[in-house]
A and B are shown apart, each in its own frame.
Chain A
Amino acid sequence: MKRDPEPQAAVRASLAALLVAATLPALAHVQQGQAAGFATGLLHPVSGLDHVVAMVAVGLWGAQLGTPAIWLLPVTFPLVMAFGGFLGLVGVPLPGVEVGIALSALLLGLAVAFEWRPPLWSAAVLVGFFAIFHGHAHGTELPPGQSGLYYSLGFVVATGCLHAIGIATGLVHRWPSGRLALRATGGLVAAAGLYFLVGAVA
């Protein structure tokens, strides 16, 4: 009897992954703080709710606007966010960072709630503008002794994953009830943004 190849492939893949997971520590370098830097960078964007809602909202809006915004906005955000981080690292001051972050959640949430469909370039400019504040505020907070490169990698990857969550959630847009749910989610994001804005201004 011929055996089904799929379970065999699953066993093979699981064994391979088990071997990878069970490897001994790799001891090969003179640099320090890579693992800690990566973990810190990865966790940093999810440690602040203001950050999280804004980045998820970028994905939601991209999914709502459809192609090419669905991938253009999440590409724009990390790139311009990194530019904001760069400005922070070289000491260029940016006023009203917390207000900018709160406004990003508020306006992006409203855009989703009202299904606002501006020209693509202006959506990208809006997202990019707010990304500078996020990058400036959070891209530079590296604890001493950790690797800046790995921190940056973790930070960018986490940001991208939050966008991906937003996009995946936003795909409900294709169903009528999902469309309504998406707009309601945008409303919630906007309400959270308003809350952060009050906190930032007060």
Chain B
Amino acid sequence: MNARSRRAHRLLRWLPSVGLALWPALASAHLVTTGLGPFYDGISHFFLSLDDVLPVLAMAALGGLQGAAGGRRVLFALPLAWAAGSLAGWMAGGPAFTQFVPALSAIVLGLLVAADRRLAPAVLLGLSVALGLLHGWMNGAVIAATNRGALALAGIACSTFVAVALAAAAVVALRAPWMRVAARVAGSWIAAVGLLLLGWSLRG
């Protein structure tokens, strides 16, 4: 089998999966709890909150673009900061500035991914900690306001760890130049969504 037919074979292999993935059931993501306890509520809260997921993915991609060491830095710094921030938010409540945080996080991190510049390790670490503390704080305040157990915070922090691990590893593994460009394009899309989100936030 030559390289060309192997490539065609590989593409064919994914066709059924792509076809089925394009035919999903309607996801009605609107209830308060999963019924599986606060830990799983935390997991579902994170993965269904796009305003948290997008900046986390951008941060993970930014770490991955810096190489394996950068990815590892984000992998441990972000969830730990998230856990600390959420605990603080859970105990102290929500500050007033949170309205614009998701949009600004998406804009800044998305643009950094799109730019694909080499960052100093301290800058990468600082961004991870800032993102974790701010978003974690908001999560903690929301969880406290809805009277859910603190275990939900652990679910959220674990989710961020898993999301960062998967996304950063995927980006670190990119070898072909066009795949790296694809990651940068994804960053620009995240920044664009953040800009529109900022508009929606200002509009009220």
In the complex, A23 has a CB within 8 A of chain B: yes
B185 near A10 (CB under 8 angstroms)? no
| A90-B16 contact, Cβ under 8 Å, with A26-B48, A29-B31 | no
C-alpha spacing A139/B27, complex, angstroms: 24
Of A77-85, A114-122, A175-183, which stretch is located at the interface? A77-85
A24 near B25 (CB under 8 angstroms)? yes
| A21-B24 contact, Cβ under 8 Å, with A29-B48, A149-B51 | yes
In the complex, A32 has a CB within 8 A of chain B: yes
C-alpha spacing A179/B39, complex, angstroms: 57
A156 near B193 (CB under 8 angstroms)? yes
C-alpha spacing A87/B146, complex, angstroms: 35
C-alpha spacing A14/B16, complex, angstroms: 6
Residue from B9, B32, B49, B50 whose CB has the most chain A CB atoms within 10 Å: B50
Q: How many A-B residue pairs have CB under 8 A?
A: 150
How many A residues touch B, CB cutoff 8 Å?
50
A-contacting residues, B169-203, CB 8 Å: 181, 184-185, 188-189, 191-193, 195-200, 202-203
| Range class of the B interface residue count | 35 or more
A79 near B192 (CB under 8 angstroms)? yes
Nearest residue in A to B142 (C-beta to C-beta)? Answer: A30
B196 near A17 (CB under 8 angstroms)? no
- Interface flags, B22-44, vs A, CB<8A=1, else 0: 01111111111110000001001
CB distance from B146 to the nearest CB of A (A): 8
B193 near A6 (CB under 8 angstroms)? no
A86 near B199 (CB under 8 angstroms)? yes
CB distance from A101 to the nearest CB of B (A): 18
A74 near B13 (CB under 8 angstroms)? no
| A10-B13 contact, Cβ under 8 Å, with A17-B21, A82-B196 | yes
Chain A neighbourhood of B114, CB < 8 A: 75, 79
A20 near B13 (CB under 8 angstroms)? no
Q: Which applies to chain B's interface (DSSP): helix, strand, loop or mixed?
A: helix
In the complex, B2 has a CB within 8 A of chain A: no
B-contacting residues, A81-111, CB 8 Å: 81-83, 85-91
B189 near A150 (CB under 8 angstroms)? no
B196 near A156 (CB under 8 angstroms)? yes
C-alpha spacing A152/B50, complex, angstroms: 11
Q: Of A34, A83, A90, A156, which contacts B202 at CB under 8 A?
A: A90
In the complex, A198 has a CB within 8 A of chain B: no
Chain A neighbourhood of B97, CB < 8 A: none
Q: List 17 A-B contacts (CB under 8 A).
A: A6-B10, A18-B20, A21-B24, A28-B31, A32-B30, A34-B29, A35-B29, A75-B185, A75-B188, A79-B191, A82-B193, A82-B196, A142-B200, A149-B200, A156-B192, A157-B189, A160-B185
Interface residues in chain B, defined as those with a beta carbon under 8 Å from any beta carbon in chain A: 9-10, 12-14, 16-21, 23-34, 41, 44-45, 48-51, 54, 114, 146, 181, 184-185, 188-189, 191-193, 195-200, 202-203
Q: Which 7 A-B pairs have the closest CB atoms?
A: A89-B199, A148-B200, A82-B192, A152-B196, A28-B44, A17-B17, A27-B31
